[in-house]
Structure 1
Amino acid sequence: MGALNKVASAPIVGRLGLKKPVEKTVYQATKTGFTTLGAATRTFSAAQKLTKPKRLPSAGKASLFDLTPTDEQKMITETVTEFAGEQLRPAAAQADDKCAAPQELLSTAAELGVTLIGVPEELGGVGVERSAVTNVLVAEAMAHGDMGLALACLAPSAVSTALVLWGSAEQQATYLPAFVGEDVPAAALAIQEPRPLFDPFSLRTKAYRRADGYVLDGVKSLVPLAGQAELFVVAADIDGRGPALFVVESSTAGVTIASEPAMGLRAAGLGTLKLNQVTVPESALLGDGSAESYAECVRLSRLGWCALALGTGKAVLDYVVPYVNERVAFGEPVSHRQGVAFKVADIGIELEGMRLVTLRAASRADQGLPYAREVALARKLCADKGMAIGNDGVQLLGGHGYVKEHPVERWYRDLRAVGLMEGGVLV
């Protein structure tokens, strides 16, 4: 309880006392785009020597099926919800227009301690057991403010979570201290590739084995915080044997970043990561390159996107209910029309189903139980119904749903990403 209090009592709660972190030199995506070498990065070095990697234990099997958040989870969620409402929501429209998240907002999100939740106490974090459910609740609360900004804020924690789950003792000692300090690095999990019907288990990004390590060659797309990220976890196929994850520092020779503004998630600063004969040491391989580690990464990433869909879908519902109650047509609120009332009810019903299957999958992951089937169900439901909720939100506002004066058009564009995005977030 005391460890989790560190998150809820982070400096963000005392907003007037927030210190301004040292400004970094970043290259942010704009509508005109950019192409640059990897961001100037800090020197990552082992702060301590670990004899073996630190893993968070499973939560233990529950005798009853109960997805009620614990008091600690409620406390964290309330803090993040306040941050999303007061910080993310007001900045969302401008960030979407500029295709970049404000640096000061990202720094404030880092001070909130999101990356601490999944890092063991022995390594400076506040984690005591697997935290997929907690991370789902955090992602949902952030996305209620804005999905694009939530993705930008959560991108570094995807890398820290990957290091905790599959990193070696050397990788954890080298990189994790940066994620529990005051100056959390921009980082991203890069799985997506720029081609139709992308399959994360059939990668065109290749890793060729060499005597001194691996050579990576390929392109990753829709990478959050691409222009300013100092560290990437990259998915690549090893010599045609199967996909695996690699830790790649952005300053490595052969790494190039280009802007990639998309239809939605524009506030996340999406970009393309190009790997041209990038040489990494053998120690850069995560999880010993096992197929199960990579499959788990894909599953946990998809759960993250389900959580983002939940938060954004709830934002749509919370916006359209007062709108249809206050919008008067033909002498009465439009919510008196069955066609309107039933559509609003459908949004609420679908959100409850989406939330149940997502939390069930996350709960099984925390308990160390098989959860592949549950993730597949959650992904399918959240992708289909998330898009439908976004579309219905626009429809319920009529002509107002099509203009930027109201945020539902942005939420609609963001929700369409849920069914196609891989990587970026990790719970």
Structure 2
Amino acid sequence: MSLISNLKPGGKFGVPSTESRDPIGFLVAGLNRLAQSDLIDKVGLRRQTEQVVFNVTRTGFKTMTNASRTFAKAGKKGQPGARPAKARSTGVFDLTPTEDEQMLVDLVGEFAEEVVRPAAAEADAACAAPEPLLKASLEIGLPILGLPESLGGVSEERSAMAGTLVAEALAKGDMGLAVATLAPGSVATAIGLWGTDQQQQTYLPAFTADAVPAAALALNEPTVLFDVLSPAATAVRSGDGYVLNGVKSLVARGDSAELFIVGASLDGKPVLFLVESSTEGLSIEGDPAMGVRAATMTKLLLEDVKVPGEAVLGETDGSTYTDCVRLSRLAWCALSLGTAQAVLDYVTPYVKEREAFGEPIAHRQSVAFMVANIAIELQAMRLLTYRAASRAAAGKDFSREVALARRICAEKGMQIGNDGVQLLGGHGFVKEHPVERWYRDLRAIGIMEGTVLV
């Protein structure tokens, strides 16, 4: 019997009850509603979804950005916004997930297994996530996991650790679909961490309502020797506001996004700007990549885009931008863990069942050692990533920890993907098996900047 089908209702779907305001209770309620609906049967390969698949090619489309929503200004101008409390620390070096965090992993993991994994191959081929899957991710509360209760979210304290676990669990289903479902919540989390009262009251109510807007974090740029901390996109002061120019690449779901967080250089410092999709001068182009294709990667073109002075998110000295980059790198490390775990779980039974010369290939030392090495490297990746996440949640400096985590996840994650293909031999090269897709996705870890954060 499925775990999901045994869940008890926890309140109105999409609005946790007063008896269960924690992320676990919220997800239990959401997954219970999801299990009773027909969404699972509509997603992925179980039934062809009724949607207009926009198949992205390098020159396949260019369009103005989505302008269907107007965010009404609200809140007190210039006043600091609400901030999530720091996670409590026991002072003990223990990275074991708490009971609640483990339950969170189990619940999201089941969603990834039953909904995300079956839809992955088709979504990768179409360069688009199925609409029912995106709606299901909203219904289980992914966009507000990083928001404190005072802003309509479900967190009582900073959720970097919980966010890391969620990203890992989703990526075990598929990295591309994980990025597609996490992108809106990443923008909401950023506004919760650094937004002013006016910014929070203007934008966050949309993320806690039923019609959650698609949103994107745009830091990548298509330039040679790109340095995320020195963006080529520029912001110039003009009257009471700013004028933005530049190109941002690998922007998830940019074709449908209604709000962007854009990184640009202001007076030589990297700064984040909130840019609504209806702003004049924005346009979108397809930007498909080798991997993470289900996230519908696009280019965001900014041509004399005028934004008001209150569009600046956080500080203008580069500190907020740097924190954003670090939290984004932490998210990509978490995504690499889930995908690498999927590789390990797939190749282990394969090498035990696949026979050559009258015996399973797992009996060969070279094969057994390769599988063991995947497990060893994965555990090292997980240890460093969890360490960085725990320090981030506690509000401590985690720059060293996330740098180490990103280095090992980028290097060893790619190696794990390559070894997975190698272990399957000819089967690793064909789309009949998912390992070739995981290999392509894992190569993104050392390249991607922004897009998601925890």
Partner AA of 2:396 in structure 1: L
**Cα distance in 2 for residues equivalent to 1:29 and 1:292:** 38
**Cα distance in 1 for residues equivalent to 2:260 and 2:337:** 26
Give every structure 1 segment of 4 or more consecutive aligned residues whose post-TM-superposition deviation is greater than 4 Å. 23-27, 46-51
**Cα distance in 1 for residues equivalent to 2:53 and 2:234:** 27
Partner AA of 1:30 in structure 2: V
Tell me the residue number matched to 1:103: 131
1:47 positional shift: 6.0
1:338 maps to which of 365, 379, 401: 365
Partner AA of 2:211 in structure 1: D
Bigger mean CA deviation after superposition, 380-389 or 363-372: 363-372
Q: How does 1:7-406 map to 2 (within 5 A)?
A: 7-18=26-37, 28-31=54-57, 33-46=60-73, 52-239=80-267, 241-406=268-433
1:2 maps to which of 5, 20, 24: 20
**Cα distance in 2 for residues equivalent to 1:88 and 1:147:** 10
Q: TM-score, normalised by structure 2?
A: 0.90
Give the 3 Å change call, closer, same or farther, for CA 261–392 of structure 1 in structure 2.
same
Give the 3 Å change call, closer, same or farther, for CA 108–202 of structure 1 in structure 2.
same
- Partner SS state of residue 243, structure 1: strand
**Cα distance in 2 for residues equivalent to 1:40 and 1:210:** 24
1:10 positional shift: 3.2
1:424 positional shift: 0.7
Give the gaps of 5 or more residues in structure 1: none
Partner AA of 2:118 in structure 1: P
Q: TM-score, normalised by structure 1?
A: 0.96
1:183 positional shift: 1.4
**Cα distance in 2 for residues equivalent to 1:193 and 1:307:** 22
**Cα distance in 2 for residues equivalent to 1:365 and 1:197:** 28
Partner AA of 2:232 in structure 1: R
1:12 positional shift: 3.0
1:110 positional shift: 1.0
Tell me the residue number matched to 2:46: none
- Deviation sequence 1:214-257 (CA, Å, 0-9, x none): 00000000110011111100000013x21000000111100000
1:196 positional shift: 2.7
Partner AA of 2:146 in structure 1: G
| Structure with larger RCO (C-alpha < 8 A, sep 6+) | 1
**Cα distance in 2 for residues equivalent to 1:178 and 1:118:** 15
Residues 34 and 139 in structure 2, CA contact (< 8 A), matched pair in contact too: no
Residues 195 and 313 in structure 2, CA contact (< 8 A), matched pair in contact too: yes
Residues 215 and 279 in structure 1, CA contact (< 8 A), matched pair in contact too: yes
Give the 3 Å change call, closer, same or farther, for CA 238–52 of structure 1 in structure 2.
closer
- Partner SS state of residue 188, structure 1: strand
- Partner SS state of residue 291, structure 2: coil
**Cα distance in 2 for residues equivalent to 1:94 and 1:10:** 28
Alignment root-mean-square deviation, CA: 1.9
1:414 maps to which of 418, 430, 441: 441
Give the gaps of 5 or more residues in structure 2: 1-18, 40-48
- Deviation sequence 1:31-81 (CA, Å, 0-9, x none): 472110001331112566696410001113331011111122112211110
**Cα distance in 2 for residues equivalent to 1:24 and 1:324:** 38
- Deviation sequence 1:255-287 (CA, Å, 0-9, x none): 000011111111000000000000000000000
Give the 3 Å change call, closer, same or farther, for CA 422–296 of structure 1 in structure 2.
same
Partner AA of 1:360 in structure 2: R
Bigger mean CA deviation after superposition, 40-49 or 323-332: 40-49
**Cα distance in 1 for residues equivalent to 2:152 and 2:312:** 23
- In the alignment of these two chains, the number of paired residues is 424
- Partner SS state of residue 55, structure 1: coil
**Cα distance in 1 for residues equivalent to 2:97 and 2:242:** 43
**Cα distance in 2 for residues equivalent to 1:201 and 1:116:** 27
